[in-house]
Chain A
């Protein structure tokens, strides 16, 4: 019994709001599980009817606090049950929601609170309360700080602080009818939420998105991946919801499709959550795929005997098999052999990380290195890449449909979006369902829309067999003193393919050669150190160990072998500390995108040192080979 099909038409969605969709779902599928959130060891199941009731109570509670149409609400929390509930509740009142990265520094929080002008700040726990309270006096608009997890709050007396529980209790008498009446007053073309783009240059800009456009745009994801509507799917929601992708997964796609999000007890617990949930569909960013791949590789490097032989045989076969798969010509016999290797080797590997039931892994948010994608394809995980921007309001500009697409492009353009390339290769997008403009920043909005109806993405692309290929993101080129134009992100991606490299930043603008700063991946390097008897006390001692330097050097040499001469990394330094976005003035955004210029300023001596003695050192190096 499914009266209207779950995935509605574009026009339908344009004239709807997310809370209205929720109410409809609560009517048509009241007892179907909407999401599961882990609390104290068990996954609490919420049906659509319960979900709607929670939203109604929260909405009435928020209304009682004086929240009105057009007011802004800021939420600072990891993916948790209260995020979508508070979000939809605020949207039901016509308020505008925006999320602040849980890893944002105090300065960043202040900027976004001031820029967005939120009247209410919903904090997941005391940690975020501590971040906001010192600023509270300086934020005239802020009237309420609402705390979800009140465990560490005892004896806190502050006239602005209320608990989420108290607020919900105040709205307990609200029912579906009450919510329906409120939602009916919200117009689809009204603003629904703001998403702050993690600008690698300057302050983040808030992209304003309206109700109907967001739903219609997000439909492109569902349309590109029809399996989402073919059967119920489990997924894990762990990406921050202040990011448009995180919001799609936890809030919007469940409303449009049969995707059931699962939220772990804590984001740090992700490996365990993945293992327990064994998602059938997973949306992720490349970083997690790289990290998981590194863990598998390092885990395998420590194995021995029969296990190693089995793994190596399986990988040798899979390497050939993915190539056949990409060209679309695997025979029945090789498919059978792959199935055998899957049963013997790959499935047990995937089981340990909770990937053995996954049918579709969609990577977005940043370019996915081809090696990483190929690795997962070898293990039999259907990883596809999609490309979207905050400005596309939750929709995607392109997405690989798969299964097992050849890495390198970002796939085809979905229904509802038009893409063309400017003369300089910049990707231009046209759609009825884009964002409304930057919050309080007319100039930037005009610059992006350019007056001709085509939105400038700032990314450079090209067409390849009808598929969009990203050449570079955000036109991040550097030109060496030899006049060669090089894409550092391309090289960084290759460097990051090493399991031991957490982050790589390439420099070389106006220089003779390229150099790199490397942040080691603490987990995998520490694991390697333990198995290879390298003593260390912490991150810094590990980063400065000569044997670790040798380890990284070997991997950089491997990467260099794949690169053209001018693109090769001639020197590198290992960062002595972890890049921590929560720290003031750290050259990474809360999503851990590196701000290249700030990075240079911060680690100038390290970078310059690589150019200083370089010539002598290169000479000495080549000489040692001769003399030894």
Chain B
């Protein structure tokens, strides 16, 4: 991680300081401002916007989990929707069958996720790239099949209804309360990811992504670390799925189509591969995108006439945006963010002045 501080006068007197998440007072101030903004948001925004924000926060958890696996450990996965479904169904089935409270269903979902992570991580020891992606697809269909079977055999053919979770004796139904629950989940996921990445496993993953053979030669347990990446990523995703189930109050196999997997892959590509911030930005972008398209369509003359094709337009626009990002901005949103940041960090220089540039 060892990045240089952005402002002068921050020298380290121990290695522990090298690992600090917050390096300079300026960073601390910006972070505090962001936190205040996030905490006051639901009290200012309309319930619709709060719901939108909650969706984005939920997507962030899944996107960060996928970023860990694909963006950092370099293992492609198309089974993301399957894992979300696994988490959602675990919570749904446990609730339906045993009436278990959410503090039991969530860990159970995590356990199922971890198990699936091991199972579907195993092919990654032999397969790479496209072949691995195809093998993870199997996960998706497997979970979808099991979930569908359960639904039809138990007579919930339209889906499983879940009661809202009860915290401190009160059922959580208020959008604001959900916003804070999901914000906490997203922040915790973020901290887990950042801590993993600045630790031994994070460095091992970076090495594996760069070159497996070299990583092995460096003494990194490639197999173990790959599996670890799958397990952690799957656990987080499964948890996100369970949260999704509670948030919607409803689990149905239709919600976890292959398109959802594509959306998550899109999040990390649009956000910017290999960056946790990228996963966050990508999750926000992909969540808001359909609403954005809808808003644009509303502005067009004769808006009513397009209502029927909205769905198709959405898909098409999504595809176009993906292609544009891949062609024009492979670094994703985080690349744009970094360029803006660099502009101000270098101010009033254009490039680093000679002294620094030589390094």
Instruction: Decide yes or no whether A299 CB sits under 8 A from chain B.
Output: yes
Number of A-B residue pairs with CB-CB distance less than 8 Å in the complex they form? 94
Instruction: Decide yes or no whether A292 CB sits under 8 A from chain B.
Output: yes
Given contacts A302-B351, A523-B354, A41 and B9 within 8 Å (CB-CB): no
Q: Which of B12, B18, B356 touches A275 (beta carbons < 8 Å)?
A: B356
| CA–CA, A304 and B347, complex, Å | 11
Given contacts A42-B15, A43-B11, A262-B11, A303 and B349 within 8 Å (CB-CB): yes
A-contacting residues, B92-138, CB 8 Å: none
Contacts of B11 in A (CB 8 A): 36, 38, 43, 262, 276-277
| CA–CA, A45 and B348, complex, Å | 34
Quick one: CB contact mask for B325-359 with A, threshold 8 Å, 1 for yes? 00000000000000000000011111111111011
Nearest residue, chain A, Cβ from B349: A299
Q: Which of B15, B347, B358 touches A307 (beta carbons < 8 Å)?
A: B347
Question: Which of B2, B7, B11, B15 has the most CB atoms of chain A within a 10 A radius of its CB?
Answer: B11
| CA–CA, A274 and B355, complex, Å | 11
Q: Do residues A271 and B347 form an inter-chain contact, with CB atoms below 8 A? A: no
Q: Nearest-CB distance from A598 to chain B (Å)?
A: 30
Quick one: CB contact mask for A545-579 with B, threshold 8 Å, 1 for yes? 00000000000000000000000000000000000
Nearest residue, chain B, Cβ from A303: B350
Given contacts A271-B355, A523-B358, A356 and B8 within 8 Å (CB-CB): yes
| CA–CA, A354 and B356, complex, Å | 11
Q: Which of A272, A275, A300 touches B349 (beta carbons < 8 Å)?
A: A300
Q: Do residues B355 and A42 form an inter-chain contact, with CB atoms below 8 A? A: no
Q: Do residues B9 and A348 form an inter-chain contact, with CB atoms below 8 A? A: no
Q: Do residues B353 and A278 form an inter-chain contact, with CB atoms below 8 A? A: no
Q: Which of B9, B348, B354 touches A310 (beta carbons < 8 Å)?
A: B348
Q: How many interface residues does chain B have, given as a range?
A: 20 to 34
User: Is chain A's binding surface mostly helix, strand, loop or mixed?
Assistant: helix
Contacts of B7 in A (CB 8 A): 351
Instruction: Decide yes or no whether B46 CB sits under 8 A from chain A.
Output: no
Contacts of A295 in B (CB 8 A): 353-355
Contacts of A36 in B (CB 8 A): 11, 13
Contacts of B346 in A (CB 8 A): 352
Q: Which of A271, A274, A300 touches B348 (beta carbons < 8 Å)?
A: A300
| CA–CA, A354 and B353, complex, Å | 12
B-contacting residues, A345-359, CB 8 Å: 345, 348-349, 351-357
| CA–CA, A308 and B349, complex, Å | 8
Instruction: Decide yes or no whether A490 CB sits under 8 A from chain B.
Output: no
Q: Which of B15, B17, B349, B358 touches A352 (beta carbons < 8 Å)?
A: B349
23 residue pairs of the A-B complex, CB under 8 angstroms, read: A36-B13, A38-B11, A41-B12, A42-B18, A272-B356, A272-B359, A275-B356, A277-B9, A277-B11, A292-B355, A295-B354, A299-B352, A302-B349, A302-B350, A303-B348, A345-B348, A351-B7, A352-B8, A352-B356, A353-B353, A354-B9, A357-B9, A523-B358
* A residues lining the B interface (CB < 8 Å): 36, 38, 41-45, 262, 271-272, 274-278, 292, 295-296, 298-300, 302-304, 307-308, 310-311, 345, 348-349, 351-357, 523-524, 527
* B residues lining the A interface (CB < 8 Å): 2, 5, 7-15, 17-18, 346-356, 358-359
Closest 9 CB pairs of A and B: A278-B9, A271-B355, A299-B353, A278-B8, A303-B350, A276-B11, A307-B348, A354-B8, A295-B354
